[in-house]
Amino acid sequence: MDRDRSLDVAVTGIAARFPGCTSLGDWWSALTAGRVLTTRYGRAELLAAGVPPHVVDDPDYVAVRGHLADADRFDNTLFRISPREAELMDPQHRLMLEVAWAALEDAVVAPLDVRARTAVFASATGSGYMRAIVAGGPLSPGLLDDLVHGTEPDFMAGRIAYKLGLIGPALAVQTACSSSLVALHLAVQALLNGDCDQAVVVAAGFDFPQAGYLHLPGGVSSPSGRCRPFSAGADGVVPGSGVAAVVLRRLADASDDGPQPYGYVLGTAVTNDGAARMGYYTPSAAGQEAVIRAAVDAAAVPADSIGYLEAHGTGTAVGDPIEWSAASAALHDAGPGRIAVGAVKANIGHLDAAAGLAGLIKALLVVGRGVVPPVAGFVRPNPILDLDGSPLVVPTRAAAWQGPLPRRAGVSAFGIGGTNAHVVVEQAPDRAARAGAARRRRVIVLSAADRDALARSARRIADHLDAESPDLADVAVTLETGRAALPERLAVWGRTSAEVAGRLRSGTGVTVGRRPAAGPAPLVFLFAGQGTQYPGMARPYADGLAGFDDALRRCLAAFEPDLRDMVRRALLDVDFPAGQLDDTALAQPALFALGWAAADALAAAGVRPTAVAGHSLGEVTASCVAGAFDLTDAASLVTVRGRAMGSCPDGAMLALACAAESTGDLLAGTGIEVSSVNGPDSCVVAGPVAAIEDLQARARHLAPRRLRTTRAFHSRLIEPALPALAAALREIRPGLTALPIVTNVDGGVVATGARLPAAGLVEQARRPVRLDAMVSSIVETFPGAVAVEIGPGRALSAVLEAAGVPTVGFAGPRSTAPEEAVAAVRGALWCLGHPLVPPARADPGRRLHLPGYPFAGPRRVAPEAVADSASVDRGVAERRAGEDRLATGDGGGPDTPPRPAGDGPAPDPSEVLRRAWADLLGHSDLSDESDFFHLGGDSLLITRVARRVNTELGIRVPVRAMLAGRTLGRQSALVQQLVTDRRPPRGHHQ
């Protein structure tokens, strides 16, 4: 009979940093090999870490610990935490932020954009970091307040929720060694009670500095520096350092397209021993047995279905026999020797508050992979253990799972003080393999807070793609939906994992960019005119741009049925007759439909222009996109325009590499006119076919290039079409524009909310296109904008690029890889800060566990933590003196005394403010554009800046004005103005 799984919880994400390894994969390899990962320190290392010499030289000092490498590094920029604030945070709090972020990424949940109600349950060891700082001498109230907020357990869960944008309950859970497993129990209850939809359980355990320990005779610490749970000769526990996190969801909410769960939590329980024990520090066999039985009952599984137990396993003379006895009694029904016992403390030491999560993660790997690791260092059992009839057995080598199926395990954690926790977990069945997806080109995106992290991330993903060869559709959807969209960005495209990995390493086909601080780079959509068309020109869009097909269908519905069918075939059939498409009556509706549908699909994906412009016919498309015409009216206008111009006399057009002003003598008496001024050394002329052919032969020195058109647009030969165009426009009343339109005739801008003058579209059909003026207007009116050319070519892009405007363009004619250009555009827009446009006709993919953010921040240790009061350096002393001065002022209230006049030179207001920023934020590289809040400041810290300025300059700076100012330059201007406006104090005579 199947279990009722309505109360089961899936573990969807894991992240951890454990001693002696760089990844979970390395850790698992070490566990299965039975390796001990603790470190024995040398004397010099201990002294450098700050351990006093008399302690190091004590004969009872044991120089061993499960050492966590780089525990002082912190990517504070990612979390918008200033260097100074980071220095005052306990390393446990810092690493919990990073590991919580990594666990969400592993669960394919984008940090900073978490949609589900997500709770945080956080645990940590008491702060040795805070003790080290306060031991250096008295701190000012402000500095002490910052230190308390950065180190005390009350604030760690709330900080994680704030920095990651999580809106569920945020609780600190502290029950000594059982803290993190108790936190897991509370998280499961919160999920089942409906308090949240997702939970992050995160814990850290290590002291500061990381070093050895003093063994007290008769105590629980090992004098040998070796933790050997359940083993003969076991003499105690060894401390370790680590941090771990898991992400939980109700099993019913763990979607089929989500990542493969690491396992299921079937039941949890928490108890306390109460007074039924020999002493406060002594564990109780009855209490431990009770919590195991309660968890098994909550899991609704028989005890004999459990094949593995990850024990608390401290390796102590008292604790091991009690735990063995309690677990044997609780799981007796399994039968003798049927449950393998694990004890991860033998490998990494005791992680204190994080020990329970370390055991849980190991148990999940055991049931998930079906391999039972040995207990490191175990040779023969402790003779005190009651082995007769016990269901427990200690493995001495790695072995395949021999227990019942499905694979189930228990995990125990027991805290000093008697709070016991136990969890029952089960393997998650492997997902059925998907049918092979078509190898379409995929865009793979990465982002980071800085360029170095982006490069590291690219290398990690490339290594993973080479090693695992995952389906690229799965990789694409995982990175798109399960990662935060950070400023430094990279996009690459390809059909296979191997291709993408190769491109990431070589840089070929990779686009790199940075999202501007003020938001995504503004875009100007450009729409092509006639002369760029070719059969099948919409295929790249249809194959690579989601929403294009639907938009094209809606656009074509606005045309007459006969024309509608012809336009569709011309756009999508690469074998459509090219000569037929050159007919103006077909070419113009086709180009309009392509431009409008692509712009609509981009807008639906969240990529919207700041302004629009177009060349000739493209201006009609731009006007419709900007809202000046509705789609039906625009289609009617384009139909009339194309037919009317198609009935004009035959003509031709020729591009010349020269200035329009220099063509006078060349064109005199030929009937040819300048039809487009593209730039200082580029123009287009138009006129009768024979005259153009003659000019082409005479002007070889001007690199003449014949355009693909049968009419001489923007010349006198087009005048017969103007009456029909004017009549059509009289039947249409243009609406108010929703976007600025940069016009052809003179580069003027029709502002948002204006009504487009209909006569202007008649005039622009006859007059030369002033592409040069249009480009100048774009440069001047929309600084920093990027041009996106929408159409079959890049003729307009070349002109804008010559003027220094960055451009993004779609494919040219007959691309051998139709999706390549659209993929490039999608990636380029992402790198400019815009949403990633989804692909068309693509298998959405299944989310995977992929390498996450490559944390490798700078080392952050408060100088006060490593210096005693006699050796505090000048910089620290000055900071403390400054803080003491600040403590005597206030934030600009009515009682703030003015600075008394003195004989010395008045301080420079800007320099006073700059020093306050540098001191309180910890940043030295400041400019007028530096943003206080982007550098990690907050509303509380700004009051301290104001306090310092008030005290040093004798003014009253309104805190609200400082908040509004944000940047150093604007705040400096405010302070300077207040100093200038300050009147002498009453009674002061000049």
Torsions phi, psi for 209 (to 5 deg): -75, 165
Decide if 769 contacts 714 (C-beta within 8 A).
yes
- Strand, helix or coil for residue 861: coil
Angstrom distance (rounded) from CA 361 to CA 423:
12
Alpha carbon separation from 901 to 884, 983, 986 (Å, rounded): 21, 12, 12
Of the candidates 172, 175, 181, the residue with the CA atom closest to the CA atom of residue 312? 181
Are 197 and 255 in contact, with CB atoms under 8 Å apart? no
Task: Decide if 616 is catalytic.
Answer: yes
Half-sphere exposure of 472 (CA within 13 A, CB side): 22
- Among residues 93, 215, 312, 923, the one annotated as catalytic is 312
Sheet-wide strand order for 510-514: 442-448, 488-494, 510-514
Options 185, 350, 464, 834, the catalytic residue = 350
Active site residue 312: yes
CB 111 within 8 A of CB 105: yes
- Which of 601, 642, 600, 651 lies closest to 620, judged by CA? 642
Whole-Å CA distances, 71 to 17, 195, 855, 943: 9, 33, 11, 32
Written as one string, the DSSP assignment of 98-114 is: HHHHHHHHHTT--TT--
Could you give the CA distance from residue 534 to residue 842 in angstroms, rounded to a whole number?
25
Q: How far is 786 from 801, CA to CA, in rounded Å?
A: 10
Residue 553's alpha-carbon distances to 790, 824, 978, in angstroms, are 18, 25, 62
> How far is the CA of 560 from the CAs of 211, 563, 564, 622, 639, in angstroms?
82, 5, 6, 21, 9
Q: Which amino acid is at 943?
A: T
C-alpha closest to that of 374 among 320, 429, 308: 308
Residue 972 known to be catalytic? no
In the set 123, 140, 149, 177, the catalytic residue is 177
**Torsion 947-952-955-960 (CA) sign:** negative
Are the C-beta atoms of 284 and 321 separated by less than 8 Å?
Answer: no
CA distance 543 to 438: 13
Q: Check: CB of residue 179 under 8 Å from CB of residue 173.
A: yes
Catalytic residue among 305, 390, 447, 616: 616
* CA 349 – CA 238 distance, rounded (Å): 5
- 394 vs 410: CA distance, rounded Å: 15
Please give the Cα distance from 827 to 653 (Å, whole number): 35
Q: Let me know if 518 is exposed, middle or buried by CB neighbors in 10 A (0-12, 13-18, 19+).
A: exposed
DSSP state of 22: S
Q: Which residues of 620-655 are buried (b: 16+ CB within 10 A; e: fewer)?
A: bbbbbbbbbbebebbbbbbbbbbbbbbebeebbbbb
Q: Which residues are CB-contacts of 723 (< 8 A; sequence separation ≥ 6)?
A: none
Dist. CA 72–CA 149, nearest whole Å:
18
Residue 221's identity, in one-letter code, is: S
Two tokens, residue 848: 């995977």
Residue with tokens 């006073």: 912
Cα–Cα dist 527/537, whole Å: 14
Euclidean distance between CA atoms 331 and 793, whole angstroms: 73
Residues tagged active-site: 177, 312, 350, 616
